Amino acid sequence: MKINDSNKKVSTLINFKKAQSLIIKITKMVEANEYCIDIMQQNLAVIGLLKSAHQMLMENHLNTCFKMAMATKNEKRKQEMTQEILKVTKLLNK
């Protein structure tokens, strides 16, 4: 399902685009043998942006797809949706 809230969609896209830009910058920093701590700080900024984007996507999913699935009487679909959330949460925490 698509991101329904246009503000969240814009914010999510901004985070992904900022992360993309920083990754290009980090790659150049590594190629130029820049100071490790400076590279790590930029890397942490990317991680923060991606985590924030992930959180926005998760909130949207829970408020749309997941909510609709839980409102149905289809127990199989409810279980599938729950397992998807658990799988993504487990991957995030690795």
Sketch the domain layout of the chain as residue ranges.
6-92
**For position 4, what pLDDT does the model report?**
65
Full pLDDT tens readout for the chain, 94 residues: 466 678 888 999 999 999 999 999 999 999 999 999 999 999 999 999 999 999 999 999 999 999 999 999 999 999 999 999 999 999 988 8
- Return the biggest CA–CA distance within the chain: 58
- Say if CB 58 and CB 75 are below 8 A apart: no
6-92: CATH topology is Methane Monooxygenase Hydroxylase; Chain G, domain 1 (1.20.58)
The candidate with the shortest Cα–Cα distance to 6, out of 56, 71, 40, 78, is 56
**29 touches 41 (CB < 8 A):** no
